[in-house]
């Protein structure tokens, strides 16, 4: 085995991120590492890269014990990481980026010849000679940038290559070129760990797989003999039907009506009616315009044309403040960057959109607010020391619950939820689905954007698919399958 | 029943932790203050001039100008911004107040002149002028979307330039007969009546500090300031009118700076000096930072800032009493600023 990880454990505070994971990859093998967000994939890979150290367990590289104390040492010993967020300096050239940290020098001066030769050889080997060494990385597409990172790994004579969700931002064409490239590297004898959500894609590039869930390796083997169903069951840890408690709901009168809404000049207009007691799902690829639509409704992004009608009152574009007053609530997909102020307390985060509720004459009644927050924490089972704890110190699932509890606290009638369960553990997911269901049952209207199709199919009453800014007519969930949704999402709304 | 107990227990624990956390943030700078005080007391043990009631009354007076301006800076830094124009605003205010008194006083009837009406009016105008200077900063920051550092770097020059232009680059003296009897008492180290203990100006600073602390902790505006400083995107998402909060923050801080300008005017025994308070903003920022404020916003407290200001004054004063030459004093202060913030970082990292 070129790479072996044995019984690796790692805890962060009270959270056990890895609970005894073992993993092996042979030279000339690509192993898919599969698991939901929060399953422990990133932690495992950070340990492999040397960015963090395990609490216990051991790593072996080519039969030698391998315990990198930092990413630098990991790289030197031949482990290269390609993260989702590329680690390139955009203002430097391709050549400078590839040679960064592994410059060939003489008396402190760079040996340009050597650099040019090494870069040319690497790009040649990767079958991307069209990438010019003098181009600034800023001017490259995402696919080409990724090749630059891989070239860097090649120049450093990496033997183990880790690719973390490499296709999530790539076009289809760039993705298929990447697969060919990965195959080529594998045939050269590299050991490759390929992290991905997409099962079809892993079948294309990998031969073996390991599924992580809640910090444990729960399944592994040859991909050829594994059924999709079995892999998903291992990922989720229970039958999907248990995860989505589906209740019969009776839709009431229309609550949110969009007439000819367009967020950009020239963008297609959207018409949509969401009723009380209804959960409407918005499916589509990343960048299709679902987030833009939600943000425009909420007044975070401009509305160029059309009207938004909440409970019968027409209003073209409102500020978030006006929307909150109308009973609209919004949960951002970017939990850490926008959804929460991480340095503030749970209580501040939960009540920021409706501080007036617990105040008089512009001054807060802190004990009343505290009671309201405690009640919400209990009903959503938020695990924390108390309302005063900083949001930053909580797990992703608990943070997300706080972001959603804010909508409950402001007594929103319309819930605009952008990827409400992204990157959180399965238990929290189930609780959030239950909460969304309860709100709909109480007559609230929910619009939910999600890139995780089983979730949309499990939770929503109706689903509409967005493709290149154009929204399909919503149809009852029973009339959709994952396949038909993807077809509309990729081929366009006809 | 048991549910209520389960909920109450962690809540009580958290209250304790919260209190301890708060104590620690205040205690950290406070311990520093005690340490420095002890050090100077030991260094001056022969003369004994440092640890006297009179000297501490003097320190209180020496803290007033920086302290008042630092209250404003605390709000600005909690909101994640900065104000480099503080010193220039103070200079501008002293000049305008002095010029106003000079013009107004002769025009008033004798009875009102002896009461110092011209001074009162001019000082009122001075505070408002400070608020205006702040509001302009705030509007530029919110309207142009240029970072506060650059905007106030600009106004730092502009306000100083205005002060020099108005005063024709010289000191503006107020005629002796326009100085009312009460003026010099505001910052007198030995206050009258004696039961005041410290100068009325220092009392004013304390009252202001208590008011500001209440506003920051209990008012919606205060919460919005923390929210904007902690994460502006979240604040916008939650319906906070971010530009309005920024303008209000700068205007409010400007009022404090205006007041600091008036106190400086009094401290210089009623003169307007377009070159005064040069670099004061850095002293003010240092005081806020030593008191637990953060340049990235969302953090800072009134109590911490006041202690930070005291530390700065005690350093200045103590070095004089201990006979430490000025250059050494600069070096010591520089080291302490970096050390204080480093310690704060370590504490947070360990928590």
Token pair of A18 as six digits? 């890895």
Q: What are the residue ranges spanned by the domains of chain B?
A: 29-346
Token pair of A492 as six digits? 């366009």
DSSP B116: T
Token pair of A242 as six digits? 């248990």
Q: Would you mind telling me the total number of residues written for chain A in this entry? A: 494
Token pair of A277 as six digits? 């007691």
Q: Searching chain A, which residue's CA lies closest to the CA of residue B6?
A: A378
Same structural domain for residues A216 and A250?
Answer: no
DSSP B174: P
Residues of A in contact with B15 (CB under 8 A): 386, 388
Phi, psi of A163 (to 5 degrees): -115, 120
Contact between A337 and B15 using a beta-carbon 8 Å cutoff = no
Residues of B in contact with A334 (CB under 8 A): 233
Alpha-carbon distance B231 to nearest alpha carbon in chain A (angstroms): 5
Give residue B127's pLDDT.
98
DSSP A263: S
Contact between A323 and B7 using a beta-carbon 8 Å cutoff = no
Residue pLDDT, tens place only, A83-113: 877 788 989 999 999 998 888 888 888 888 9
Same structural domain for residues A90 and A201?
Answer: yes
Which of A14, A355, A364, A410 is the best residue to mutate to test the B interface, defined by the most B CB atoms within 10 Å of its own CB? A355
Question: Which has more confidence, A260 or A369?
Answer: A369
**Strands A363-364 and A79-82, how do they pair?**
unpaired
User: 3-state class of A344 per DSSP?
Assistant: coil
Q: Searching chain B, which residue's CA lies closest to the CA of residue A363?
A: B219
Angle at B57 between CA B52 and CA B62, to 5 degrees: 120
Residues of B in contact with A359 (CB under 8 A): 220
Alpha-carbon distance B230 to nearest alpha carbon in chain A (angstroms): 6
Contact between B7 and A378 using a beta-carbon 8 Å cutoff = yes
Same structural domain for residues A304 and A209?
Answer: no
CA–CA distances in Å: residue A335 to residues B20, B189, B314: 29, 53, 44
Q: Which of A325, A338, A386 sits opposite B237 (nearest CB)?
A: A338
CA atoms within 13 A on the CB side of A231: 25
Q: Which of A319, A342, A374 sits opposite B231 (nearest CB)?
A: A342
Contact between B234 and A330 using a beta-carbon 8 Å cutoff = no
Same structural domain for residues A265 and A362?
Answer: yes
Which of A298, A325, A341, A350 is the best residue to mutate to test the B interface, defined by the most B CB atoms within 10 Å of its own CB? A341
Same structural domain for residues A132 and A182?
Answer: yes
Same structural domain for residues A275 and A415?
Answer: yes
Measured between alpha carbons, how far apart are the two ends of chain B, in Å? 33
Residues of A in contact with B226 (CB under 8 A): 341, 344, 348
How many structural domains compose chain A? 2
Which of A239, A255, A270 is where one domain is finished? A239
Q: Searching chain B, which residue's CA lies closest to the CA of residue A322?
A: B239
Same structural domain for residues A226 and A310?
Answer: no
Same structural domain for residues A125 and A190?
Answer: yes
Which helix (H) or strand (E) is B87 found in, with range? helix B86-107
Which of A218, A239, A260 is where one domain is finished? A239
Q: Quickly state the pLDDT bin for A117 (edges 50, 70, 90).
A: very high
DSSP A268: P
Q: What is chain B's Cα-based Rg? A: 22
Same structural domain for residues A227 and A290?
Answer: no
Greatest pairwise CA separation for chain A in angstroms: 78
Q: Which residues pair with A109 in a beta bridge?
A: A106
Which of A332, A333, A344 is the best residue to mutate to test the B interface, defined by the most B CB atoms within 10 Å of its own CB? A344
Residue A357 near chain B (CB below 8 Å): no
Q: Rounded to 10 degrees, what is the CA torsion of A263, A269, A271, A272?
A: -40
User: CA–CA separation, B241 vs B252, rounded Å?
Assistant: 16
Token pair of A311 as six digits? 């409970």
Q: Quickly state the pLDDT bin for A385 (edges 50, 70, 90).
A: confident
Residue pLDDT, tens place only, A55-91: 999 999 999 999 999 888 888 899 999 887 778 898 9
Residue A386 near chain B (CB below 8 Å): yes
Residues of A in contact with B234 (CB under 8 A): 338-341, 349, 352
Give residue A141's pLDDT.
83
Q: Searching chain A, which residue's CA lies closest to the CA of residue B217?
A: A364
Residue A297 in contact with residue A289, Cβ under 8 Å?
no
Contact between A385 and B218 using a beta-carbon 8 Å cutoff = no
Same structural domain for residues A219 and A309?
Answer: no
Token pair of A248 as six digits? 């019969």
Contact between A319 and B223 using a beta-carbon 8 Å cutoff = no
Token pair of B48 as six digits? 């004994």
Strand locations in chain B (E) = 172-173, 271-272
Ordered alpha helix ranges (H), A111-254? 112-125, 142-155, 172-187, 199-205, 228-236, 240-243
**Strands A414-418 and A328-331, how do they pair?**
parallel
**Domain with residues B29-346, CATH architecture:** Orthogonal Bundle (1.10)
Q: Which of A320, A355, A364 sits opposite B237 (nearest CB)?
A: A320
Which helix (H) or strand (E) is A349 found in, with range? helix A346-351
User: CA–CA separation, A384 vs A375, rounded Å?
Assistant: 13
Residue B277 in contact with residue B90, Cβ under 8 Å?
yes
Q: Quickly state the pLDDT bin for A255 (edges 50, 70, 90).
A: very high
Which of A181, A213, A239 is where one domain is finished? A239
Helices (H) and strands (E) in chain B, counts: 13, 2
ipTM: 0.84
Phi, psi of A300 (to 5 degrees): -85, -30
Q: Could you tell me what percent of chain A has a pLDDT over 70?
A: 97
Contact between B241 and A300 using a beta-carbon 8 Å cutoff = no
pLDDT in tens, chain B (351 residues): 333 333 334 444 444 444 555 666 667 788 889 999 999 999 999 888 899 999 999 999 999 999 999 999 999 999 999 999 999 999 999 999 999 999 998 888 888 888 889 999 999 999 999 999 999 999 999 999 899 999 999 999 999 999 999 999 999 999 988 888 899 899 998 888 888 889 999 999 999 999 999 999 999 999 999 999 999 999 999 999 999 999 999 999 999 999 999 999 999 999 999 999 999 999 999 999 988 888 888 888 999 999 999 999 999 999 999 999 889 988 988 898 888 878 777 766 544
Same structural domain for residues A65 and A96?
Answer: yes
Residue B348 near chain A (CB below 8 Å): no
User: 3-state class of A15 per DSSP?
Assistant: strand
Residue A213 predicted with pLDDT over 90: no
Residue A201 in contact with residue A175, Cβ under 8 Å?
yes
- Is A81 buried (19+), middle (13-18) or exposed (0-12) by CB count in 10 A? buried
DSSP-assigned letters across all residues of B315-347: HHHHHHHTT--HHHHHHHHHHHHHHHHHHHHHH
Q: Which residue segment(s) compose the domain that A406 sits in?
A: 242-491
Phi, psi of A24 (to 5 degrees): -130, 145
Residue A405 predicted with pLDDT over 90: yes
Alpha-carbon distance B219 to nearest alpha carbon in chain A (angstroms): 4
Which helix (H) or strand (E) is A46 found in, with range? helix A41-49
Residues of B in contact with A338 (CB under 8 A): 231, 233-234, 237
- Number of other residues whose CB lies within 10 A of the CB of residue B9: 11
Same structural domain for residues A158 and A307?
Answer: no
Angle at A232 between CA A226 and CA A234, to 5 degrees: 85
Contact between A352 and B7 using a beta-carbon 8 Å cutoff = no
Q: Searching chain A, which residue's CA lies closest to the CA of residue B221?
A: A362
Phi, psi of A18 (to 5 degrees): -130, 130
* A134-145: average pLDDT: 87
Residue A17 in contact with residue A11, Cβ under 8 Å?
yes
Give residue B351's pLDDT.
40
Q: Searching chain B, which residue's CA lies closest to the CA of residue A299?
A: B237
Give residue B23's pLDDT.
66
User: 3-state class of B222 per DSSP?
Assistant: helix
Q: Could you tell me what percent of chain A has a pLDDT over 90?
A: 51
Q: Searching chain A, which residue's CA lies closest to the CA of residue B19?
A: A388
CATH number assigned to the domain comprising residue A21 = 3.40.50.300
Contact between A343 and B238 using a beta-carbon 8 Å cutoff = no
Alpha-carbon distance B283 to nearest alpha carbon in chain A (angstroms): 26
């Amino acid at each position: 085995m070129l790479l072996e990880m044995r019984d690796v454990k790692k805890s962060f505070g009270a959270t056990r991120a890895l609970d005894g994971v073992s993993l092996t990859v042979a030279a000339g093998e690509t192993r898919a590492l599969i698991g939901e967000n929060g399953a422990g994939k990133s932690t495992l890979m950070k340990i492999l890269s040397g960015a963090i150290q395990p609490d216990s367990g051991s790593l072996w590289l080519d039969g030698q014990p391998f315990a990198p104390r930092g990413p630098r040492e990991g790289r030197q010993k031949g482990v290269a990481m390609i993260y989702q967020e590329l680690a390139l300096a955009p203002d430097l050239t391709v050549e400078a980026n590839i040679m960064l940290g592994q410059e060939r020098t003489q008396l402190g001066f760079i040996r340009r010849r050597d650099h040019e030769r090494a870069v040319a050889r690497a790009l040649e080997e990767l079958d991307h000679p069209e990438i010019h060494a003098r181009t600034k990385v800023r001017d490259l597409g995402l696919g080409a940038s990724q090749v630059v990172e891989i070239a860097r790994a090649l120049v450093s004579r990496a033997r183990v290559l880790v690719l973390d969700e490499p296709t999530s931002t790539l076009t289809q064409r760039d993705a298929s070129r990447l697969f060919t490239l990965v195959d080529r590297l594998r045939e050269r004898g590299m050991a490759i760990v390929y992290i991905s959500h997409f099962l079809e894609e892993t079948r294309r590039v990998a031969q073996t797989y390991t599924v992580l869930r809640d910090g444990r390796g729960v399944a592994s083997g040859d991909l050829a003999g594994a059924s999709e169903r079995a892999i998903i069951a291992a990922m989720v840890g229970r039958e999907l039907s248990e995860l989505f408690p589906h209740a019969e709901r009776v839709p009431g009168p229309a609550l949110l009506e969009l007439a000819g809404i367009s967020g950009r000049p020239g963008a297609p207009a959207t018409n949509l009616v969401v009723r009380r007691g209804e959960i409407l799902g918005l499916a589509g690829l990343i960048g299709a315009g679902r987030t833009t639509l939600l943000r425009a409704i909420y007044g975070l992004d401009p509305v160029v044309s059309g009207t938004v009608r909440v409970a019968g009152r027409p209003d073209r574009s409102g500020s978030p403040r006006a929307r909150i007053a109308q009973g609209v609530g919004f949960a951002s997909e970017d939990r850490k960057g926008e959804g929460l102020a991480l340095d503030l307390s749970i209580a501040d985060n939960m009540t920021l959109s409706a501080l007036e509720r617990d105040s008089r004459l512009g001054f807060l009644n802190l004990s009343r607010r505290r009671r309201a927050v405690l009640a919400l924490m209990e009903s959503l089972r938020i695990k924390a020391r108390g309302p005063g704890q900083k949001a930053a110190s909580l797990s992703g699932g608990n943070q997300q619950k706080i972001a959603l509890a804010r909508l409950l606290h402001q007594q929103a009638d319309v819930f605009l939820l952008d990827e409400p369960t992204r990157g959180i553990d399965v238990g929290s997911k189930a609780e959030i689905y239950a909460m969304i269901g309860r709100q709909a049952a109480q007559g609230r209207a929910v619009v939910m954007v999600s890139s995780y199709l089983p979730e949309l199919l499990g939770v929503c009453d109706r689903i509409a698919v967005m493709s290149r800014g154009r929204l399909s007519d919503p149809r009852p969930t029973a009339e959709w399958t994952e396949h038909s949704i993807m077809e509309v999402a990729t081929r366009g709304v006809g | 029943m048991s549910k209520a107990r389960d909920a109450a227990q962690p809540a009580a624990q958290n209250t304790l932790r919260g209190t301890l956390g708060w104590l620690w943030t205040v205690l950290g700078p406070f311990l520093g203050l005690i340490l420095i005080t002890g050090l100077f007391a030991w260094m001056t043990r022969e003369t004994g001039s440092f640890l006297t009631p009179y000297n501490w009354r003097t320190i209180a007076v020496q803290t007033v100008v920086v302290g008042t301006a630092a209250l404003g800076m605390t709000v600005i830094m909690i909101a994640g911004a900065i104000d480099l124009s503080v010193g220039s605003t103070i200079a501008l205010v002293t000049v305008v107040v002095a010029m106003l008194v000079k013009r107004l006083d002769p025009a008033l009837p004798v009875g009102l002149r002896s009461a110092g009406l011209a001074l009162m009016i001019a000082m009122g105008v001075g505070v408002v002028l400070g608020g205006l200077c702040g509001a302009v900063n705030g509007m530029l920051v919110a309207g142009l979307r240029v970072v506060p550092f650059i905007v106030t770097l600009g106004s730092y020059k502009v306000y100083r330039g205005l002060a020099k232009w108005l005063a024709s680059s010289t000191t503006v003296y107020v005629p002796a007969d326009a100085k009312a009897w009460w003026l010099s008492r505001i910052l007198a180290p030995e206050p009258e009546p004696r039961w005041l203990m410290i100068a009325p100006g220092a009392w004013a600073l304390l009252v202001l500090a208590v008011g500001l602390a209440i506003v920051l902790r209990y008012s919606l505006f205060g919460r919005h300031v923390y929210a904007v400083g902690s994460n502006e995107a979240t604040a916008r998402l939650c319906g906070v009118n971010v530009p309005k909060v920024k303008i209000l923050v700068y205007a409010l801080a400007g009022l404090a700076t205006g007041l600091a300008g008036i106190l400086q005017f009094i401290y210089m025994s009623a003169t307007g000096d377009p070159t005064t308070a040069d670099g004061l903003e850095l002293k003010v920022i240092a005081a806020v930072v030593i008191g637990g404020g953060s340049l990235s916003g969302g953090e800072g407290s009134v109590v911490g800032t006041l202690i930070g200001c005291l530390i700065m004054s005690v350093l200045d004063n103590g070095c004089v009493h201990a006979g430490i030459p000025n250059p050494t004093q600069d070096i010591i202060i520089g080291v302490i600023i970096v050390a204080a913030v480093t310690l704060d970082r370590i504490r947070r990292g360990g928590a």
